Amino acid sequence: MSSSRRDFLKAATVASMAVASSVNAKSALAQAPGGAQLRTLETSVLTIGYEEHGDNAGFPIILLHGFPYDVRSFDGVVSPLVAAGYRVLLPYLRGYGPTRFLDSDSPRMAEQAAIGQDLVDFADALGIDQFAVAGFDWGNRAACITAILHPQRVRAQVACGGYSVQDTITPGRPAPAALEAMLWYQWYFNTERGVAGLAANRHDIIRHLWNSWSPAWNYTDAAYNRSAASFDNPDFVDVVIHSYRHRHVNAQGEERFLEVERRLATRPVIGVPAIVLRGAASGFGPPSQNPAGDQARFSNLVARRIVAGAGHDLPAHRPDAVADALLELLA
């Protein structure tokens, strides 16, 4: 990134934080149910911030948030898992909350293969050989990729939204107008105006996406403020922009992931035990009643459920559905 663009993003970040709802970053990021403390660990690329709940000796479950959300989406999922004796881990993805790149000069890349590798690196840093995982949006994509590339590591997967691996090698074809309109933010982020807009107006954009993607859900100011500080991460804009440009073949990825992306472009089947959850009230439209698509992508599909009352942010809207699915798979 050029120094002028870095200077602009820094200035825009300061402006965005000033007009955002009055959130103290340190206190907001430290808040967690059950008195969990914010912890950090280092991988070869990141310092990852995460929360940990439950018995350290319990079987580990990793819960992965997506864009533009953070670990607070899983607040209601944690307690039943802890009560059942599991160790529950909630990492902040690259570009969110307290997670930081170790090298201040390294490009802020966020292609899908990198997000998937971050999950494996996170488990490795904690000495975890095998885990269960639930995720949505970017977090679900990381879980899907790990289940494909390292199936021996994933005992069970709850896929909120189904199969989300992308072909980042071949440019996609234009979609019907209604779908293109829903994806306006992706086209916006592929312009320089979108970079400037996300830097200056991130909180306005994020709240609009929350409301658009879960139109039946009433997000209060208090609910948003519990997550808002996570989006003031200094790498948030660059990470988001790279992710949405790379998936549309408008930005280069890391050389080390090229072969991985080529393999993922074939959209391999996932063979780990899985339950797919789809929100009945998603702003992207109602899910298909036909399970054939999910059955084709998950060869060991234990169940597929359309979850009433849930939008895109499914774990926040129906935490019971996510917790029950994990407990069912691990029983």
For residue range 206-223, list pLDDT tens digits in order.
999 999 999 999 999 999
Report the CATH fold assignment for 3-330: Rossmann fold (3.40.50)
| Residue 257 Rama label (left phi>0; alpha psi -120 to 50; beta) | alpha
Is pTM, for the whole model, over 0.85?
yes
pLDDT at 36: 74
pLDDT at 33: 60
Residue 95 near residue 235, CB atoms below 8 Å: yes
pLDDT at 241: 98
CA distance 47 to 232: 16
34 falls in which pLDDT band (50, 70, 90)?
A: low
Render pLDDT for 68-87 as a digit per residue (tens, 0 to 9).
Answer: 999 999 999 999 999 999 99
Is the pLDDT score of 123 beyond 50?
A: yes
Residue with tokens 């200056």: 200
Which structure tokens are listed for 150?
């390292």
Residue with tokens 């993607």: 213
Render pLDDT for 51-70 as a digit per residue (tens, 0 to 9).
Answer: 999 999 999 999 999 999 99
Q: Cis bond leading into 291, ω under 30°?
A: no
CA distance 221 to 224: 5
35 falls in which pLDDT band (50, 70, 90)?
A: low
26 falls in which pLDDT band (50, 70, 90)?
A: very low
CA distance 209 to 198: 12
Is the pLDDT score of 19 beyond 70?
A: no
Counting DSSP H helices and E strands in the chain, the numbers are 14, 9
Residue 93 near residue 123, CB atoms below 8 Å: no
CA distance 69 to 226: 10
pLDDT at 132: 99
37 falls in which pLDDT band (50, 70, 90)?
A: confident
Question: What average pLDDT does the segment 126-151 reach?
Answer: 98
CA distance 295 to 115: 25
